[in-house]
Chain A
Amino acid sequence: MSQINQLVSESDIKKEDNTLRKKILLFFISELLLFGGWFVVYAIYKNQFATEFNYYSLKLNTTLGTLNTVILISSGLLVSLSLTSLKKENKFLSEILIVLAETFALMFLVNLFFEWGVKISAGLYPTSEILAAKGSGEVLFYYLYFIMTGIMALHLILGIIVLANILIQIFKDKILSSDPNKLDDANMYWNFTVLIWLFVFPLFYLIQ
């Protein structure tokens, strides 16, 4: 009888995992549509205002962009290593790596907001009167820059919240090395964000 109960319980867990997986897949598809759409918008306007887009991308801080890329890649590694550690039953290392990954993500956000601050203080932000007085190419470039990097920042903030929740669950032994699916999903999400940044970075900072 207890064996039957155990089998039923395992079957329930599998069903729950599959449902979660389907939800995550749907989420990824919606993300692809979101970012894909913005990439297409970028491509179209870059075609129309090629000279302006090239000129204003030169005005972005490539050093800060590169630093942020390195930071985000490193945070991706840390989350991935955390999953590997948990699978290898090294709970403590897994927790430390998640904390480090979150620290890196915060560093990314600080750098991004610092870069935004420079642009905002110069009046180059959406709805600014100074920007509105400038040419269409510059207005569109900065609109797209703030929207796409803003979406990235939102994704990272969401990722930090998700990882903090995972960290608490690992700490309370609610996520175990035998069933690390939640951390696996968080790792997928996090590195998906890293992947998107790997495309956003050259689009804004390196196409000149």
Chain B
Amino acid sequence: MKEEVQNNNKNSYTQQILSWLGLIALTALLVTFSGIKLGGFSLFVFFIIIALQSILVINKFMLIKCQQKIFKVFLTFLGCALIVVLIMSFVLN
């Protein structure tokens, strides 16, 4: 039983550290793509990267699985709203 708890601990720490590495890698990708002119495709890549970053932060750092349902709904709405505004700022251009 104790061993199981210890394994869960390791999993939790490992998952969060892996998420952090993922976020750093995505930030590097974002900066790299900002320097490359790929037209409409680069915008698509931008949105995907930012959406992935948001999913990682909400799921792994904010530990959304442990929160009440209302928080889950709100944070999903928040992520979507922010992405829509970001899309607006690109597309309106």
Interface residues of A (CB under 8 A from B): 21, 25, 28-29, 32, 35-36, 39-40, 42-44, 46-47, 50, 62, 66, 69-70, 73-74, 76-77, 79-81, 83-84, 88, 184, 187-188, 191-192, 194-196, 198-199, 202-203, 205-208
Contacts and interface: CB of A to CB of B under 8 A. Distances in A.
A39 B24 contact: no
A42 B31 contact: no
Nearest to B28: A66
B61 A194 contact: yes
25 contacts: A21-B68, A21-B71, A28-B74, A36-B81, A39-B82, A39-B85, A40-B88, A42-B89, A46-B93, A47-B93, A62-B34, A66-B27, A81-B17, A84-B16, A187-B63, A188-B71, A195-B58, A195-B78, A198-B50, A199-B50, A199-B82, A203-B86, A205-B34, A207-B89, A207-B90
Given A43-B85, A202-B30, A191 B62 contact: yes
A25 B86 contact: no
Interface residues of B, number: 41
Interface of B: 5, 9, 12-13, 16-17, 19-20, 23-24, 27, 30-31, 34, 46, 50, 53-54, 57-58, 60-63, 66-68, 70-71, 74, 78-79, 81-82, 85-86, 88-90, 92-93
Which secondary structure dominates chain B's binding surface? helix
A188 B59 CA distance: 11
Contacts of B70: 25
Contacts of A196: 82
Contacts of A69: 27
A66 B79 CA distance: 21
A194 B68 contact: no
Contact of B17 (A62, A77, A88): A77
Contacts of B90: 207
A74 B66 CA distance: 21
A171 to B, nearest CB: 22
Given A36-B85, A47-B93, A80 B50 contact: no
Given A43-B88, A194-B57, A32 B81 contact: yes
Given A28-B78, A80-B61, A194-B57, A202 B71 contact: no
Contacts of B19: 77
A29 B74 contact: yes
Contacts of A73: 20, 23-24, 27
Contacts of A203: 86, 89
B57 A76 contact: yes
A43 B79 CA distance: 17
A68 B80 CA distance: 24
A80 B54 contact: no
B50 A46 contact: no
Given A66-B31, A73-B27, A187 B54 contact: no
